[in-house]
Structure 1
Amino acid sequence: MRAVQTDWVDTFLAIAHHAGIRSAAHALHLSQSRVSAHLAALERVVGVRLVARGPRGAHLTPAGDAFLAHARLAVDELDAAVAAARDRDRSSARVGICLPVPPALLAAIEWPAGVRPSFSEISADAVDAALQSHAIDAALEPVIRRPGPSDTQQVLWEETVVTIESALPWPPADSGPVLVVASELPLLLAADYPFSGTPEPVAHVGIVLAMVAAGQATAVMSEGAAPPPSPRFTASIDDRAPRLRYGIRASVDGPEWVGAVTCRRSPVRAIPERVPQSGSGGAVFAGAPQRVAV
């Protein structure tokens, strides 16, 4: 069977909608002879009469009525296929996120025009396999190693590591202050830094700062999460640690847009302005937006 051309079907649908050759020609911006030629070609392929002409215009035959319903579905499906292909081309950025990322940082990422990423959680151990199998197009993760020969990695932003200690003359504990880090800062926990002791994760930044203020701990934090120096806290840059870096990584044969991703300077998170006194059992926190260095 000879293939049915889509412009023939469009012409047939216009004739059915406007109930006439002349009206269909006007709607399609075609000549009446071209419309008649399209209809004749379609009827030759189908093998039956689809449109009957009369003194009051054109109307569909019973065969034309049967053809109409399927023709509409076919055109709708074709339009949906074109739209899906175009949308897939624009939104093919499947980005795996290895560690929890503050929403403000995600909002600060500028994607190239036409790229609309979709995010999913992925473990750091699964990134390599996911990139190689093209299950994801890129990964948003800490930059704690050099890219391998099969991938490329671009740094989006970085932060300095600071050490927070109590500014008050607390007597040291028998074993000395412990080194703590908030489990809300997974980038610090994931990295392998040459500290004298392994940081112990604590549930919340506010609890970490309360422990420091009470002289119970020394905290290792990112600059964006650390409080400013005050009568309670002293902060110093830890020269032993590299800067914390987040980046986006893709396989070398991955999408070309990876190299065009940037990050604006943007507020990152709200940190406590007030911390609970030791043994108070709770506190009210007020946000103080910090900024990330990029």
Structure 2
Amino acid sequence: MDLSSAHSYRLDWITSFVAVARHGGFSAAAKALYRSQPRVSSHVGELEHVIGARLFDRSVQPVALTPEGRALLPHAEEIIARLGVFADVAGGADGVLRGEVRIGMYPSAAAYAYPPLVRALRRRAPTVRTTLAEGPALSLESGLSDGEIDLALRPVLPLVRDDRLTYRRLWSEPLVAVVPHGHPLAGRGPVTLARLAAFPLVTMGEPAEGAPRQFETNLAFAEAGVRPEIAFETTQPQTLAALVRGGLGVGFTNALAMTTANCEGVELLPVAERHIRRHVAVWWRADRPESPLLPLVRDVIAGLPAPRLAEVADPYDPYDPYDPYGTADAVA
């Protein structure tokens, strides 16, 4: 396309088209864009008129992309992404980076890492802002894939299905068992996975469409050759502690999660199989033009002190479960 014909396509038409596709409807897109629904509908209609094809099937609810819409969407998203880079570069023309980075984190990582991240950025780049989106691991993956967030603090497991995502490892941490006071395992030191499997378990996990996704806890038991009864799954450490405290099962989760929960009435036990660990990384999409803000924020995240969790894993054992990955290279 030459420059003389580019004026036929207005940016607000393309923005409204992408918003309707991302949010699944005209009303949701209007709310996200702070525009009226008739205006968003008008933008999409004008774009369809210029292109000469319907982009959405409006006979179904929620509206669905037509084949033409599906073909056009990646290019429209690319335009929006490049405009973001344009704005960041323009804002940094005087040598000062400006902009906003959307970061997704799962709850215990957010409680641990987000406050020091904000403080560190205020010192290093006070004109760079961040917004936090908390969610479980699978939703963070979809957020990155859909462009709703720019970076994510997420475990390496379960493995992502989007090969456009890449990561830089940050830290690893042990898994711990969580038992109520007075439980037969309480006060007995490290517990084996086979012994844990004798009790109904409460684990960290989340439902997924299609084939189940493998979390560290699932793989730990599979590697040990035991099949426990999973009584409850939750994405919230506080809920896991409450279920254990209520006598509904024995908890099994990562150590950092339990530092953010109310552990009154429960006891944390180290797991004998110490090689079973959670590895945490910062993730991003590698297939898009990258704003100069993202490497900056990634470096600040990688420079944060890693959690020291020896006292959570086993207060009576000099073994230090912290195993930093430091500045490991990105892994596709």
Smaller-chain TM-score bracket: 0.3 to 0.5
More strand per residue: 1
Normalised TM-score (structure 2): 0.39
More helix per residue: 2
Higher relative CO (Cα under 8 Å, sequence separation at least 6) belongs to 2
Normalised TM-score (structure 1): 0.43
